Amino acid sequence: MSGSILFLIHLIGFGIVFTVILAGWILNRRFAREKDRQIQLYVGGLMRTIGLLSPVAAVILLISGIGNIFHRYPDAMSRWYTEGWLVAKLLVFVIFLINGTIYGPRLARRRMTAAKEIAAGNPPHDAEVNFAVLNNQVTLFYVVQFVLLMGIAALSVFGTAKHVGFFG
Ligand code: HEM
């Protein structure tokens, strides 16, 4: 496949992951502030549906990223790790991936369980406190994911020998 098409697919992957995080953040604010419990559960369901796009985006980015490596370094396997920006980017990507596939969904599941218990009436005595703590943790999760994503984008764009080459 031509390098330009791979690169385009890579940028589409970036667009999808950016949208998932932005939409997730907006819906999360709505979820946390919603007083009507049924609407809250509905918004939680929407968040889950949008979240299902993130593994798709991760696979697109990984496959097209590997393609980019072969395109950028024709003798790829012997040279790609000599560029610091790319090694740093891959390390941040792994953290981003682990946070997004394990920690985030686990928090979201626990929060939905708490929301359902409250909506059903007769929740455990500490349900409201637990729910508020989970709300804060999910918000923090989105902030961390956004910062990591911007870090990956910055490393990609400003890396050595990239465009103006911020780092050299
Ligand atoms: C959230 C994940 C990722 C994001 C947001 C992202 C974003 C980007 C962006 C915006 C560029 C264009 C930089 C530029 O030239 O201005 C780029 C290039 C590149 N990406 Fe990624 N990327 C991600 C994951 C990956 C992964 C997992 C790999 C490798 C397995 C990878 C390998 C590359 C390579 C080699 C280039 C340079 C292509 C070239 O200059 O010819 N990326 N990435």
Q: Indicate the pTM of the whole model.
A: 0.91
Q: Domain residue spans in the chain?
A: 3-158
Check residue 167 and give its pLDDT. 63
For ligand 1, what atom is nearest to the CA of residue 66?
Answer: 30
Is the pLDDT confidence value at 166 over 60? yes
Ligand 1: residue whose CA is nearest its atom 7: 153
CA distance 14 to 76: 23
Is the pLDDT confidence value at 162 over 80? no
Record the tokens describing residue 31, joined without a space.
């979820």
Check residue 130 and give its pLDDT. 93
Check residue 72 and give its pLDDT. 83
Cβ atoms of residues 138 and 107 within 8 Å: yes
Q: Is 46 helix (H, G, I), strand (E, B) or coil?
A: helix
Q: Is 12 in the pocket of ligand 1 (CB under 6 A)?
A: no
Record the tokens describing residue 34, joined without a space.
């919603």
For ligand 1, what atom is nearest to the CA of residue 18?
Answer: 5
CA distances, 157 to each of 31, 133, 149 (Å): 34, 36, 12
Q: Which amino acid, residue 89?
A: K
Cβ atoms of residues 50 and 20 within 8 Å: yes
User: For 33-88, what is each residue's pLDDT tens digit?
Assistant: 999 999 999 999 999 999 999 999 999 999 999 999 988 887 766 678 888 999 99
User: For 75-102, what is each residue's pLDDT tens digit?
Assistant: 766 678 888 999 999 999 999 999 999 9
Check residue 54 and give its pLDDT. 93
